[in-house]
Amino acid sequence: MHPPILEIEGLSKQFQLHDQNALIPSCARVDLAVHSGELTALVGPTGAGKSSVLKAIYRTYLPSSGRILYRDANGAITDLALASEHRMLELRRQDLGFVTQFLHCLPRKSAMEVVAEPLAMRGTSRELAAERACELLDLLNVPERLWRVPPATFSGGEKQRVNLARGLIARPRLLLLDEPTASLDPATTDRVVDLLNAIKAEGVGMLAIFHQPQLVERLADRVVTLSSPVAASALLEETTP
């Protein structure tokens, strides 16, 4: 068996709120692995720190402790908890994809350009990237009349589809998905499941949070359950002599 492309050991994150003089735990002692061509699902109650784990991998959040070992195409291992900003930018451009729940809109770009951008950034010609973008927008049931319009005024569901198309157009080595189907109808959700399975078959490794347990069943090769960090730290106190 190939070694995992991502291995997380003992990841914890706390936020120090100076104004309130409080320490807020966001995830505690998380261990997990992601393999190429497989999907690891992160499950657990609200507030357990699922989104925080994805943000720590993408380094939106700097972990408080633990290791996030990423293995690149050359087999070199980078601890994302310690990597330089430069290395993080390089990995985000080439290796990591992140589909967050919300589209951060770029004001004047059309939906098609927003979707095509990650592919164009990786060197695909503008024409081909635009063609792929249209195919994906079509697959995700975004009406054609919207393709040339900036998504700023789109409905929540339409924005999410554009966001998802943008996240799925390129083939990163490691794809992070935070509730990517949360506001989709069942027919579109089915298409996304097929698409994710196809992307998996191409060898992409995924770490995903899903709203519906049945999606975990349909897509996950491994399941990692997080308990709320407060419960985890209480447990730690109990078991520490």
Ligand X SMILES: Nc1ncnc2c1ncn2[C@@H]1O[C@H](COP(=O)(O)OP(=O)(O)OP(=O)(O)O)[C@@H](O)[C@H]1O
Among ligand X, Mg ion, none, residue 47 binds (CB under 5-8 Å by kind): ligand X
Choosing from 37, 47, 150, 157, the residue that interacts with ligand X (CB under 6 A) is: 47
Binding mask 45-84 for Mg ion (x = CB under 5 A): ------x---------------------------------
Q: Is 182 left (phi over 0), alpha (psi -120 to 50) or beta?
A: alpha
Is residue 175 involved in binding ligand X (CB under 6 A)? no
Q: Select from 32, 27, 23, 24 the least CA-distant residue to 12.
A: 27
| End-to-end C-alpha distance for the chain, whole angstroms | 38
Choosing from 26, 36, 181, 188, the residue that interacts with ligand X (CB under 6 A) is: 26
Among Mg ion, ligand X, none, residue 48 binds (CB under 5-8 Å by kind): ligand X
Residue 174 CB, nearest distance to Mg ion (Å)? 18
Q: Select from 59, 79, 89 the least CA-distant residue to 6.
A: 79
Answer yes or no: are the C-beta atoms of 83 and 67 closer than 8 Å.
no
Kind of pairing between the strands at 39-43 and 96-99: unpaired
- Quick check: helix, strand or coil at residue 78? strand
Residue 125 CB, nearest distance to Mg ion (Å)? 36
Chain contacts with Mg ion (rule: CB under 5 A): 51
Chain contacts with ligand X (rule: CB under 6 A): 15, 24, 26, 44, 46-52
